[in-house]
Amino acid sequence: MSGVPAQARVVVIGAGIVGNSMAYHLAQQGWKEIVLIDKGPFPNPGGSTGHASNFIFLTDHSKEMTLFTLDSVRQYKELGVFTQSGGVEVARTAERMDELKRRMASSKAWGIDAELASPAEVKRLVPFINEKIILGGFSTPGIGTVDSLRGGTLMREKAQAMGAVTVVASTEVTAIDVENGRVRRVRTDKGDIETETVVITSGIWSPRLARMAGASIPLSPAVDQMISVGPVPLFADTVGEIKYPIIRDMDTNGYERQHGGDLEVGSYDHRPILWEPDDIPSIGQSKLSPTELPFTKEDFDESLEHALELIPDILGDPRVGIRHAINGLLSLTPDGLPLLGETPEVKGLWSVAAIWIKEAPGIARCVAEWMASGVPEIDPSGSDIARFYDHQKTRAHIRARTAEGFNKTYGIVHPREQWESNRRVRLSPFYEREKALGAVFFETAGWERPNWYASNKPLLEEYGERVMPRRYEWDARWWSPIINAEHLAMRDRVGMVDLSAFAVFDIAGSCALDYMQKMCVVQVNLPVGRVIYTSLLNTSGGIKADLTVMRLGTNHFRVVTGGADGMRDRKWFSDHLPEDGAVQITDLTSSWATIGVWGPRARDLLQSITDADVSNEGFPFGTCRFVDIGPVRALASRISYVGELGWEIYVPFEQGSRLWDAIWDAGQPHRIAPVGIGVYGTTGRLEKCYRAYGNELEQEFNLVETGLARPQVKPQDFIGKEAYLKQRAEPPAVTLCTLTIDDNTSSSGFKRFMMGREPVLSPQGKRLVDRHGRGSYVTSAGSGPSVGKTILMSFLPPEQAKAGTKLAVEYFGEQYPATVAVAGPTPLFDPQNTRVRS
Amino acid sequence: MNILVCIKRVPATAGQITLTPDGQDIDTRYLGFTISPHEECAVEEAVRMIEAHGGITTVLTLGPEAATDQLRDAMALGIERAMLLETDGREWDPVATASAIVQAIEAERAAGRSYDLVLFGNESADSAGYQVGVRVADALDLPCVTGIKAIELADGHATVRRQTESGWETAEVSLPAVLTVKEGLNLPRYPSLPGRLKAKKKEIGRIKPQWQGGGLEKIRLKLPVQAEHTVEILGTNGDAGAQLVEVFQRLRLL
């Protein structure tokens, strides 16, 4: 075929499993004139799909990724390309055995049938395994393999049969033209295609394609080594592709799967071998394919030895030879999650990249829904490509984090684990002061934020057992009892918290009020100087963002949102700006540093350094104004995410240290404590039952379910209003509840402390499932030092969502009794909210 | 029985060959290295002979340190010993290469190891000089047969066969002898895991032969004009059946 269509509704670039799935799902959404293009031939154009190991393990600790995987399996089954074989993750170490228990908990939370198996039980499932070197396994019967090339072909052909797709093979995209920030056409070596929408499904080549349009898709091609050995005598009589369960040798980062008469052995154990997207060979230059590079034996030798230990009967047989060996290329991202959605740089340019076979069709359905209606069924926020700040799109960051992340592929990754590479990128003006106080820094979106301060160690003595010490290493990892001591000191006296990681946007212009009314759920037409807390919804009433807004002028609003959510929120705001420029958004994140000052003595402290009236009458809760603190003019906002009297104080970045010193010095008579994010993000908010975006707040749950629905709905229109009104009219399928653990003593005598994402079960250990099929799980967990309890939040079905209901929470294979303390948003601590309003 | 197999590290090649900017080498970034299919058969044949008749096999190459990869590959298949005639990466012409190999063989003989059979690939996969085996035989005054596709060993001699346009030629040669073999001699095995792991740990004997400029000097490499390949898609799925039959008939395959 020569030439390409002159125009298209959408051009999908790349026909691996992702591109084919996208073409199909866009056609399902009713889109026509879809062009699916690839520089290679069909059905295997030479990308990572062509050499994938094609097995699907179901359980991931991430809910989002698990939901994508389960949907993908359903689709593969419908296409008839899924072969169920079962799969076992085996443990060689006690620590891994514990991790397998954690995976059991995640399986229960997401509704996957799985069980722990003894070495003898693993041997029964996998007769060729050396069970003597394992401590046990985690067995999932629903695991299997797919023929991803066939699956992709079937989806492509279905889309073609619908008359929706033109397929163009062996045609290279040479440019993507952008005009006024919008995609206009795709240029190829066989002609140009006019289009307003491009979907980059080009796997490891995606960064190159994005760059053609001036956008970034931050991934790195990386090597996954694999070999195929055979002929295996035991497999001689296997009919079809696979009969025995797939093995993941978790502690050595390896896997073994039957493939017909061969056994495939792969590894993520070797040194990270990263490639540059520009260095990948062309099809002609490649010996096998562009993503199947020459095998570097010496990198794999250690993996060979590990595999030989585990599967000696097959791999030790001299008749079984290494018939095929490659350094296969796949895509890695700086945070390990896919890159989905419209790029923030270019309208109409969508990324669907860094995706594994196991999740591709599910993700494609999600993104197609997102493109067509804006409201995907599965919430893709964690994978939204708009999540990255500019510094996270640099080559240095991508290489550092993908190299560090590679060996975590099968790793035991602690929920609070911190990255080690490329740190100290964003430093607040308080950084040196914090360092001097022994701050232990955690990273959020590149910011170094104190999580607690070593200087507060003396508080441990003051509070004794009230700091709820943790003696089990896993629970105490990336944690300190000092967090809880800081918490108590703040509640007793006053604390100061560095909040400079906030993302800050100014929204202004002649139509700013109307615009903000449209964006926000709550009434924003309040007097200048008022501060509101509001959600932003998508059109189906899913929660898109959660933030505060200060009204600084009639048509001037300042939005403050979490650092981790900042770039996604900015895109959401930017996407809805009027085209005529009547409203503008300015990112002031790097202009304003912030300190929160909270606690019973916060007013006394602040009053001692300002002439402004900060009395309750003079500066009521929910208001903001500029105040002079010594020579610094700062914007003070009287709100609190920790449930205490106090202010967020915003200061021009370069004057930050003056503000810090003023507060610190004035705080000494009050015994002020520097307080870390451990309090702000966990203990303080949990005692107050404040919700967090990404934990409780997400697109899959609505405002009624999360307990954030207000008594009144404003008369003005806003995005999601219609859906929200409907949600209010029907009984909620779940209610967000606060639970406490009755007894957190484990069978070994240790007190255990959950961290979130654990399944919430009936006292008999049965899953709780709501009428939409969603299981109950812990959305957030942490200590409540002032209430002396471990606090959890969870969405519970109506029968359970009642104070006093007895339930159980599974953690590392044991079930702990828990009680619903509050159904709905009433705080555990200071339920009347007298402190914040005092 | 003592058998020596001589191999050469060469770039693996793909459809489209790229040269380094100075035209001195093939760009190997995407290719990796290998030995020629002829040499793979030589290695396999040596391993089979020892399996059948007992004895010791040795693999030898002249090349840079990196050529130990190819020696270990051969050992992974069952070759027992390896020798590297280590160069500094410069290319040695056939005269110089043969001379270095002859010296190595003579040194081995002086140390008490003489070879009954020296096997080469018929020609190397990159420069294809067809010379080294013949030159080594000549220098050692050994009988030499080239282009071999079948070898049978009997007491003190070998019966070898090679294919010509008109049929098969059979020759009998007394040992010791030099044979240069061709792909098709046998079907080489794949390395087993234990083989690979054992080979990794084996010692490799090293000799640093004196650099000799031969009579042949490489000026630069030049790519031939590459023929445009055209692909005609006959149809997809079952639709292609009839056309395919037609093509097969045209090619007289049916």
B90/A contact by beta carbon, under 8 A? no
- pLDDT over 70, % of chain B: 98
Backbone torsion region of residue A733, taken as left when φ is above 0, otherwise alpha when ψ lies between -120 and 50, otherwise beta = alpha
Closest Cα partner for A684 from A547, A483, A832, A824? A483
Question: How many beta-carbon pairs below 8 A join chains A and B?
Answer: 69
Q: What is the pLDDT at residue A537?
A: 97
A304–B193: do the CB atoms touch at under 8 Å?
A: yes
> Which structure tokens are listed for A812?
């590392």
Kindly determine whether residue A297 and residue B69, on different chains, have CB atoms separated by under 8 Å: yes
Q: Do B14 and A284 touch (CB under 8 A)?
A: yes
Tokens 């995907």 belong to residue? A376
Rg, C-alpha atoms of chain A = 28
pLDDT tens-digit readout, B81-137: 999 999 998 889 999 999 999 999 999 999 999 999 999 999 999 888 999 999 999
The percentage of chain A sitting over the pLDDT mark of 90, rounded to a whole number, equals: 98
Taking CA atoms, what residue in B is nearest to A285?
Answer: B16
Token readout for B194 is 């234990």
Query: Token pair of B230, please?
Result: 């055209």
CB A322 within 8 A of CB A265: no
Count of beta carbons in the 10 Å neighbourhood of residue A1: 11
Residue A588 lies in a domain: no
Based on the structure, what is the number of domains in chain A?
1
**What is the C-alpha to C-alpha distance for residues A240 and B135, in angstroms, rounded to an integer?**
53
CB atoms within 10 A of CB A571: 19
Query: CA dihedral in degrees (A373, A377, A380, A381; nearest 10)?
Result: 80
Residue B250 has pLDDT above 90, yes or no: no
Q: Would you call B192 an interface residue with chain A, using a CB distance cutoff of 8 Å?
A: yes
Q: A196, exposed or middle or buried, with CB in 10 Å at 0-12, 13-18, 19+?
A: middle
pLDDT of residue B90: 86
Q: Does A233 touch chain B (CB under 8 A)?
A: no
Tens-place pLDDT, residues A608-640:
999 999 999 999 999 999 999 999 999 999 999
Q: Does A161 touch chain B (CB under 8 A)?
A: no
Of A123, A115, A409, A87, residue with least CA distance to A258: A87
In this prediction, residue B27 carries a pLDDT of 87
| Residue A831: strand, helix, or coil | coil
Whole-angstrom distance between the N-terminal and C-terminal Cα of chain A? 76
What's the pLDDT band for A2 if we cut at 50, 70, 90?
Answer: low
Q: What is d(CA A771, CA A820) in angstroms, rounded to the nearest whole number?
A: 20
**A784 in a structural domain:** no
Whole-number Å distance between alpha carbons of A137 and A117: 5
Q: How much is the pLDDT for B14?
A: 72
Cα B248–Cα B253–Cα B254 angle in degrees, nearest 5: 80
> C-alpha dihedral over B148, B150, B154, B156, to 10 degrees?
10
How many Cβ atoms are within 10 Å of A68's Cβ, its own excluded? 28
Q: Does A304 touch chain B (CB under 8 A)?
A: yes
SS3 A623: strand
Say what the pLDDT of residue A196 is: 98
Q: How many CB atoms lie within 10 A of CB A432?
A: 12
Angstrom distance (rounded) from CA A374 to CA A557: 26
B214: how many CB neighbours lie within 10 A of its CB?
Answer: 14
What is the distance, to the nearest Å, from the Cα of residue A752 to the centroid of all Cα atoms in its chain? 25
Q: How much is the average pLDDT of A42-48?
A: 94
Count helices and strands in chain A by DSSP H and E runs: 22, 40
Helical ranges in chain B per DSSP H: 37-53, 68-76, 94-110, 132-140, 193-201, 241-250
Q: What is the pLDDT of residues A179-218, one digit of tens each?
A: 999 999 999 999 999 999 999 999 999 999 999 999 999 9
**Residue A267: pLDDT band by 50, 70, 90 thresholds?**
very high
On whether the CB atoms of residues A172 and A113 are closer than 8 A, the answer is no
Interval A278-334: pLDDT, tens: 999 988 888 889 999 999 999 999 999 999 999 999 999 999 999 999 999 999 999
The DSSP bridge partners found for residue A122 are none
Burial label for B110, CB within 10 Å (0-12, 13-18, 19+), is exposed
What is the rounded distance in angstroms from the CA atom of residue A408 to the CA atom of residue A268? 8
**A694 pLDDT more than 90:** yes
Where do the H-state alpha helices sit in A173-321? 206-212, 297-310, 312-315
Contact B192 A285 (CB under 8 A): no
- Say which of B14, B191, B194 has its CB closest to residue A287: B14
Q: Across A6-127, where does the E strand assignment appear?
A: 10-13, 34-37, 55-56, 82-84, 87-91, 115-117
What residues in A contact B33, CB-CB < 8 Å? 294
Residue B227 has pLDDT above 80, yes or no: no
Model confidence pLDDT, tens digit, residues A473-519: 999 999 999 999 999 999 999 999 999 999 999 999 999 999 999 99
**Rounded distance, CA A253 to CA A406, Å?**
10
Query: Rounded to an integer, what distance in angstroms lies between the CA atom of residue A451 and that of residue A742?
Result: 28
Q: How far is the C-alpha of A241 from the C-alpha of A626, rounded, in Å?
A: 70
State the average pLDDT over residues A387-391. 97
- Pick the residue from chain A with its C-alpha nearest to B192: A321
Phi-psi region of A159 (alpha: psi -120 to 50; beta: other; left: phi over 0): alpha
| DSSP one-letter string for A499-559 | -TT-EEEEEESTTHHHHHHHHBSS-----TTBEEEEEEE-TTS-EEEEEEEEEEETTEEEE
pLDDT in tens, A420-455: 999 999 999 999 999 999 999 999 999 999 999 999
Tell me the backbone φ, ψ of residue B36, rounded to 5 degrees: -75, 155
Q: Which residues of A touch B233 (CB under 8 A)?
A: 1
A174 to A11, A185, A203, A368: CA distances (angstroms): 13, 11, 17, 25
Dist. CA A299–CA A616, nearest whole Å: 67
Which of B9, B27, B30, B193 would you mutate first to test chain A, the one with the most A CBs within 10 A? Answer: B193
Q: How many Å apart are CA A530 and CA A545, to the nearest integer?
A: 20
Short-list A443, A447, A218, CA closest to A344: A218
Q: Give tens-digit pLDDT for A805-829.
A: 999 999 999 999 999 999 999 999 9
Q: Which CATH class is domain B2-222?
A: alpha beta
In a domain, A82, yes or no: no
Q: Is residue A594 part of a domain?
A: no
User: Domain holding A20: CATH number?
Assistant: 3.50.50.60
How far is CA B43 from its chain centroid? 8
Mean pLDDT in residue range A380-385: 97
In chain B, the residue whose alpha carbon lies closest to the alpha carbon of A295 is B32
Q: What is the full DSSP assignment across A275-294? A: --GGGSPPTTT-SSBTTEEP
B225 DSSP assignment? P
Helix, strand or coil, per DSSP, at residue B99: helix
Asked if the structure places residue A350 within a domain, the reply is: yes
What is the identity of the amino acid at A835? R
Q: Which of A599, A608, A601 is nearest to A662 (CA)?
A: A608
Q: What is the DSSP letter of A683?
A: I
B190 vs A41, A307, A321: nearest CB: A321
Peptide bond just before A231 cis, omega within 30 deg: yes
pLDDT of res. A788: 97
The first and second tokens of residue A575, run together, are: 């996407």
Residue B254: its pLDDT value, please?
79
For residue A188, what is the enclosing H or E element?
Answer: strand A182-188
Residue of A nearest to B194 (CA): A316
**E strand or H helix at A166, and its extent?**
strand A165-168
In a 10 Å sphere around its CB, with 0-12 CB exposed, 13-18 middle and 19+ buried, how is residue A401 labelled? buried
What is the CB-side half-sphere exposure of residue A24 using CA atoms within 13 A? 25
With residue A459 as reference, give the H or E element that holds it: helix A458-463
pLDDT band with cut points at 50, 70 and 90 for residue A1: very low
Q: Which tokens hold the place of A381?
A: 């926020």
Helix-strand-coil split of chain A, %, nearest 5: 30, 30, 40
* Any B CB within 8 A of A286 CB: yes
d(CA B62, CA A579): 71
- Determine which of A171, A285, A304 to mutate to test the interface with B (most B C-beta atoms within 10 Å): A285
A433: which residues sit within 8 A by CB, 6+ positions away? Answer: A657, A660, A661, A664
Q: Report which residue type is found at A680.
A: Y
As to burial, measured by CB atoms within 10 angstroms (0-12 exposed, 13-18 middle, 19+ buried), residue A310 is buried
B48 touches A: beta carbon within 8 Å: no
This model of the complex carries an ipTM of 0.89
C-alpha Rg value of chain B to the nearest Å: 21
- B78: helix, strand or coil: coil
| B31 pLDDT higher than 90 | no
Q: Which helix (H) or strand (E) holds B3?
A: strand B2-7
Q: What's chain A's average pLDDT? A: 97
Give the residue from chain A lying closest to B32, CA to CA: A294
Q: Is A278 on the interface with B (CB under 8 A)?
A: no
Q: Which residues of B touch A315 (CB under 8 A)?
A: 193
Interface of A with B in 331-370 (CB under 8 A): none
Ranges of each domain in chain B? 2-222
Q: What angle do CA A62, A65, A69 make, to 5 degrees?
A: 135
Q: Which residues, 6 or more positions from B240, have their beta carbon under 8 angstroms from its beta carbon?
A: B234
